[in-house]
Amino acid sequence: MIGAFILSVGQETEDKCFMNVYNQIDRYKIIKNVSPVNKAINQCFKKAEYYKLDYFIILGADTIHYENSINTMMKYMTDDMWCVMGRLDDYFRGNDNYGNHLYNAKAMKGYRVDENDSMYDHKVHVDMEERGYKKVITKEIIGRHHPIWTPEEAFCKHYFSGMRYDEKYRKKFFAQVVSKNAKENSPVTEAAKLGFLEGMKSKEKTLLTKKTPKAWFKYKNQFNINDKLVW
């Protein structure tokens, strides 16, 4: 039995996100407005055990899957894997390493992320490797991440990236944002760059949350509330 958990904080793509996976799964649950995201992830792990799922996927409501995406990921799944990562196309990051996780419920049984760890999403990879499980990322692109951006969303997303990633990932992701802004300058790409810069200056490791960081209000008046980038 395969389940899907959709993490929603009111994204306008929530309905399409749901409809595009609904016919590919056996059970679903929409987790609304749970913050920080660590707590939402643990709710999904608990529900997967409660529903006695064999496999399950966790995705943000800003992710639009393509037809047969779950089946594509399942073709990669084996008993010794903790997850298959379905490759997503992302406006800022491309599709080289950004993906949704399809979890092997047996491997994840009893596992919980640290709800105070700002890098929980990286820690789970280390933990599962230490348990002897493997992962794989699909060759196929199975969906699109965040097809609609506002300047505020771009700022906030990249503020958290600049704040929480270590030097290796900061350098890589910031270079992607700067490159995108140089090639396709828009209010959204400019907001993303500003957010990343502000995040890198921050001395705290705030958890991923739906709350708008205070830094946004320094720049808010530079942008039109109706600005939007659809790609």
pLDDT for 160 equals: 92
pLDDT for 129 equals: 97
Reading across the β-sheet that carries 81-90, which strands appear in turn? 27-32, 2-8, 55-60, 99-104, 81-90, 134-145, 63-65
Q: Which residues contact 185 (CB under 8 A, 6 or more apart)?
A: none
Model confidence, pTM: 0.91
Digitized pLDDT (tens) for each residue of the chain, 231 residues in all: 999 999 999 999 999 999 999 999 999 999 999 999 999 999 999 999 999 999 999 999 999 999 999 999 999 999 999 999 999 999 999 987 678 999 999 999 999 999 999 889 999 999 999 999 999 999 999 999 999 999 999 999 999 999 888 888 889 999 999 999 999 999 999 999 999 999 999 877 677 777 889 999 999 999 998 899 999
99 vs 90: CA distance, rounded Å: 9
Entry field: residues in the chain: 231
Residue 9, CA atoms < 13 Å, CB-side half-sphere: 14
pLDDT for 204 equals: 73
Determine the CATH number of domain 2-145: 3.90.550.10
Domain ranges in the chain with CATH number 3.90.550.10: 2-145
Q: Which residues contact 153 (CB under 8 A, 6 or more apart)?
A: 146
